[in-house]
Amino acid sequence: MPNWFWITLAVVCVAMAYFYWRFDFARMEIFKQLLSSFFPLAVLILAVLGSIVFGLATPTEAAAVGALGGALLAAAYGQLNYGVVKESVFLTAKTSAMVCWLFVGSSIFSAAFALLGGQALVEQWVMSMDLTPLQFMILAQVIIFLLGWPLEWTEIIIIFMPIFVPLLDNFGIDPLFFGLLVALNLQTAFLSPPVAMAAFYLKGVAPPHVTLNQIFGGMLPFMAIQVVALVLLYMFPDIGLWLPKVLYQ
SS3 24: coil
State the Cα–Cα distance between residues 174 and 155, nearest whole angstrom: 23
Average pLDDT over residues 12-17: 81
| Residue boundaries of the structural domains of the chain | 3-80, 81-116, 117-248
Burial pattern 64-78, b for ≥16 Cβ within 10 A else e, equals ebbeebeeeeeeeee
State the Cα–Cα distance between residues 184 and 22, nearest whole angstrom: 40
- What is the per-residue pLDDT across 43-54, written as a single tens digit (0 to 9) for each? 888 888 888 877
DSSP result, 63-109: HHHHHHHHHHHHHHTT--SHHHHHHHHHHHHHHHHHHHHHHHHHHHH
- What is the per-residue pLDDT across 106-165, written as a single tens digit (0 to 9) for each? 778 777 877 888 777 877 888 888 888 888 888 888 888 888 777 777 777 877 787 888
DSSP result, 175-189: HHHHHHHHHHHTTHH
The pLDDT of residue 23 is above 70: no
Q: Which long-range contacts (CB under 8 A, 24 or more apart) does 160-167 make?
A: 162/106, 162/110, 163/113, 163/119, 163/122, 164/140, 166/119, 166/123, 167/122, 167/123, 167/126, 167/136
Average pLDDT over residues 16-25: 70
pLDDT at 226: 83
- What is the per-residue pLDDT across 172-213, written as a single tens digit (0 to 9) for each? 888 888 988 888 888 876 777 766 777 777 777 778 888 878
